Amino acid sequence: MSVRALNRAADNRATANTLKIARAVSPYERLRHALEWVMAEARAMNRDDVPALADRISGVARELNERSRP
């Protein structure tokens, strides 16, 4: 695919996923759609970049876990 076609496809995915997240009623449904978008985009990443993304997401999960403690 050409760079132009790849950019257009990425723009279309972003628009579709942003709308899906915005239309979700429940905040947890929004979170689920956002995480599904992350997973879909991660599949297209360079395999060498995946561990860094996993570390970033794990950091968010650890932060949320700490907040949930009494």
The domain segmentation of the chain, as residue ranges, is 3-67
pLDDT of residue 30: 96
Ranges assigned E (strand) in the chain: none
Averaged pLDDT, 28-42: 94
Q: Compute φ and ψ for 7, nearest 5 degrees.
A: -65, -40
pLDDT of residue 1: 78
Averaged pLDDT, 42-49: 90
Averaged pLDDT, 51-57: 94
